Amino acid sequence: MLVTVDDMLKKAHKEGYAVGHFNINNLEWTKAVLLTAQENNSPVILGVSEGAGKYMGGFKTVVGMVNGMLEELNITVPVALHLDHGSYEGAQKAMDAGFSSVMFDGSHYDIDENIEKTKEIIRIAHSKGISVEAEVGSIGGEEDGVIGSGEVADPNECKTIADLGVSILAAGIGNIHGKYPENWKGLDFDVLKQIDDITNDVPLVLHGGTGIPEDMVKKAISLGVAKINVNTECQWAFAAATRKYIEEGKDLEGKGFDPRKLLAPGTEAVKEIVKEKMELFGSINKA
């Protein structure tokens, strides 16, 4: 049974670790993340962007697949199905489809419009028992057409959004999606601490988890980050393992062309990344 992020992230925030949000893009990725979470007794958040949801046949298809796996694979650890960087309309569609948690990304609106739209999403979500993530200060880079310049959030605006009743808050602190450039200045921990100090213990979210040095990740967790998003690193690992399989000609051996065999190395590579991140975030045996 899917759960909201509320209990798992309040516990993580209180005990000083983070829960991984791993984006899923197909059946193999979903299965890889769920099995790794179960094997390591870790809570987990399955992230779905609007683009990935469309690719997989729609939000209802995703919900059916995930619920089916929870039952058939005997998954007993807490699992949330979360819309990643949702639009105002997308968040409502995900809630209608059965997602247990949604992110409404209103960071590209001015703060007043962000507040009004976030309030309405929270109203709808709470009436359905669904958790909400909001964002202040856009995250740099691009993810499924959502482009952010990497702003550093205003702590006072963060408090305003947090006070609306969100379950978790994503605040830009210099983090970006995708590969970090060589001249990246790093995370702004001074701003992160200010945000954590004034948002009344609302768990914070770190987007763009791929490529952030481990020491920075651990420091961010110590300053209130309880959810960390990982996507690009899993994509790289999946692609590299699949490329190696084909370059070695294994798809030409016997029935090596069978999709179940062709995609297996990439799936195992995703499992390895997920486990590494769970170890780094400190969520193993926290289910």
pLDDT of residue 181: 66
pLDDT of residue 149: 43
> Poorest-confidence range of 62-76, 91-105, 165-179, 245-259?
165-179
Going by C-beta distance under 8 Å and a sequence separation of 6 or more, which residues neighbour residue 14?
none
Going by C-beta distance under 8 Å and a sequence separation of 6 or more, which residues neighbour residue 95?
102, 124, 125, 128, 130
pLDDT of residue 171: 86
Longest dimension (CA), the chain: 62
Mean pLDDT within 149-155: 72
Confidence of residue 209 (pLDDT cuts 50, 70, 90): low
The answer to whether 115 touches 160, Cβ cutoff 8 Å, is: yes
Query: DSSP of 158-185, one letter per residue?
Result: HHHHHTTT-SEEEE-BS-BSSPPPTT--
> Poorest-confidence range of 18-22, 146-150, 182-186?
146-150
The whole-angstrom separation of Cα 37 and Cα 33 is 6
Confidence of residue 151 (pLDDT cuts 50, 70, 90): low
- pTM, two decimals, is 0.92
Confidence of residue 79 (pLDDT cuts 50, 70, 90): very high
Is 283 or 148 the better-scoring residue by pLDDT? Answer: 283
> Poorest-confidence range of 2-16, 31-45, 84-98, 133-147?
133-147
**Does position 144 have pLDDT exceeding 70, yes or no?**
no
Which active-site residues does the annotation give?
84
